[in-house]
Structure 1
Amino acid sequence: MVDRREISAWRPRVPGVVEVFHAHYTEYAYPMHVHEAWTLLIVDDGAVRYDLDRHEHGTPGDTVSLLPPHVPHNGSPASEHGFRKRVLYLDLSRLDASLIGPAVDAPDVVDPVLRLRVGQLHTSLAHAGDELEAESRLAFIGERLHGHLRPRAAQRRPPDRGVAPRLRELLDARLVDGVSLDEAARLVHAHPAHLVRAFSGAFGIAPHQYLMSRRVERARRLLLEGMRPAEVAAATGFYDQAHLNRHFKRLVGVAPGRYRNSSR
């Protein structure tokens, strides 16, 4: 089978929508990574399997998948001919952080009405000038997602405040400048080896993988704003453009230049 990687990405003028991303992959598999935004995913052809919080999930039929921010996940084709997907990345103004836990517990929502509405939203986002329609459709989608997730929120335990969450906060704060392991260990008062082990055990991803995926996430936004890859590399903490290219292609499936050129 030919390894096909077709993508289209853009940032619409609709509040709350960070990015629209359409892709057709036949063999490409995402490694473990994170997003700063909510990932609202529908699959139009084929199927995707993915791991989230050490549990395997999939996207059959009328499923709408909602993957929460900052929680590592991967993804790979679950059918012979790959998959064709449409993704919306939504900021916390649409779905607040209190829903992250419930979304981890049940990321795949079987709801034909929700699935239809997400597809209609993608259609309206594809046409400049239809922003009011898109905002209206997004409001109804947010309301329906809240209806699915809110009852679960009251059942969640308070978040852990151990060394792993504190290291994640530090990595988020030092996204561009970075931080050495020794410095991080001093700041969170833990032995370096214990810190890496605790972070990997808590989140299913190593600290350096988390940092690189957050940098790639930032790079995506800047590329869609029109910045050149060399400028983006410097603005997001990568050593040079080649360093950006390597990690970007590993996490997105295409090079930064191709991703930028796919924007509408």
Structure 2
Amino acid sequence: MGLRGILAQDFLEERRRFEARMVERATAPSELICDREGAVMLAVSTLNGLDGAFETSSRLMLALGLAGKGRFVRAGDWGRVEGVFRPGTAALSLPDNEAEGCSPAARLLGFAISRQRADAALGDLGGVDALLPAATSLHVDPLLQSVLTALWRDAQLHGLSSAFFDHGVDLVLRHLVSRDRPKVKARRVRPLKPGQMQRLYDLVEARMASDLRVAELADEVGRDVRGVTRAFRDATGYAPFEYLTLRRMEHAKQLLKTDATIMEIALAVGYANPAKFAAAFRRVCGCAPSDWRQSIQ
């Protein structure tokens, strides 16, 4: 069996276990989004509190608090993490690590990432094992919160196959490793709050077909152009213009599945010149729009 088959088999088992946990612990309907190969699973769930043994998973598990607050303890041979889990707090557990402790009733945004996917993102840093320091603390990190929230929003709109989502998973994993490594002193970037990030994302989506300047994004959140550019890059890994281009190309892919002409699609994503649209599409997606359309037919 190849890697794809192994991932798929592991995914089906993990999904069955997830659904069983939801029946046992969830107090409200859960929303689950998975990719085709099962490398990444996302869920929003409202869970009862836990006191005792945590469920062991073959996957890297990352949970972000959305609502609820209380004492959190997770301990095992790998170490111990203890603190108050509240909205905006993130907790990480490594694959196949047994643990006991307690967690409060809470609404969570959860990411379940296969070991293979995590190793691919962290190969040059030592793989999943490089995340051990991050697993021994709770994280209150505006950047992490913003990126995880953006990934969930992108997954709801486009599934887990967009270039933005794939890059975002890498960004989250590498950021968790870098948090616990010595850092060179640098000028502090004032992060954008989750509500501010949401306003910027909404403005980008609303202006997909028209010109949008970084100055307008800056005005939307009361920042100067340089400040919003640095904070946006810190939160997403992209400069605002890069992110806008990426979102336009993702939207163009959806339109290429319809009968719309290349000219109509170019106009719908903000390009009056179809040649410039084709060049941007090729730069982001690796092929011409017409070739991409042909490949999915």
**Larger relative contact order (Cα-Cα within 8 Å, sequence gap ≥ 6):** 1
TM-score (norm 1): 0.46
Greater helix share, 1 or 2?
A: 2
**Higher gyration radius (CA):** 2
TM-score (norm 2): 0.42
